Chains A and B, each alone.
Chain A
Amino acid sequence: MVQGTFQSPFYASFEAFYAEDRVRLINFLVAFGAPHADAEDIVQEAMLSAALNWETASINPRPYVRTAVKRIYLRRKGQDQNRAWAEQQHLDAGNTTALFDEDTRHIYDIVRALPEAQREVIAWTIDGYKPAEIAEFTERAVDTMYALRRTARQAIRDKLVEQEPEEGRS
């Protein structure tokens, strides 16, 4: 029985990981651009994959599930891009950041509007990862990660300056 399997001592470490990382993973995916309701469902799918492959996933579970949610999100986005549902998802995305306070919404709207590769690096970065680690987990060059982070930071900075109230400018 599946529930019994989950409750075996082997999965106690998975459940501890799930309790600790689930909401952080939703936050990662929201920063990456997913609507929060979709993010919850995608996170469950990724966590299920981790549970069923826990022997492998437990070696480095946080990068495992982050890589998984990215793949699932991009796959779903690709499948839905020609459907009216995609339009609804776009509207839901605006509702996602509306959950947050004004300052947080402002920052998340800027991050979520970045090109995909840049916002991915920022999502990993605000989750505590360095470019060398991101490069390893995403199987890309370290230099590319540094360049993407630099470009993303500059884009965020430019947007903040652009949106700064007139009276705040010196």
Chain B
Amino acid sequence: MAYQNDQELDEILERAAGSALKTLNGMYGDVQQGLQDLYRRAEIASRSATVTEHVPVTTAAR
């Protein structure tokens, strides 16, 4: 058995994590696409915040 002590077990876990990272990097490694999605989300969040801010003003004006 190659996993009798903690160090050997940790090495197995690290190898698996490295391999998983490689696979996930192939799927999600496009940084520019990710950032564009983030800008879009930020704009949506920004608009929602604006709407929320205006609600009490409208209510107060009635």
Contacts and interface: CB of A to CB of B under 8 A. Distances in A.
Interface of A: 2-3, 5-6, 15, 18-19, 22-24, 26-27, 30-31, 36, 40, 44-45, 47-48, 51-52, 99-101, 103-104, 107-108, 111, 122, 125-127, 153, 156-157, 160-161, 164
B21 A108 contact: no
B31 interface: yes
A36 B24 contact: yes
Given A27-B24, A126-B16, 4 more contacts: A48-B41, A101-B23, A103-B19, A157-B3
A48 B45 contact: yes
B35 interface: yes
Contact of A22 (B9, B10, B28, B45): B28
Contacts of B17: 27, 31, 126-127
A18 B24 contact: no
A125 B38 contact: no
Chain A residues touching B, majority SS: helix
A19 B25 CA distance: 11
Interface of B: 1, 3-4, 6, 9-10, 12-17, 19-21, 23-25, 27-29, 31, 34-35, 37-39, 41-43, 45-46
A156 B29 CA distance: 30
A79 B38 CA distance: 24
Given A2-B46, A18-B34, A153 B6 contact: yes
B37 A44 contact: yes
Nearest to A31: B17
A30 B9 contact: no
Contacts of B3: 156-157, 160
A5 B45 CA distance: 14
Contact of A2 (B9, B31, B43): B43
Contacts of B14: 126
Contacts of A125: 10, 13
Nearest to B19: A104
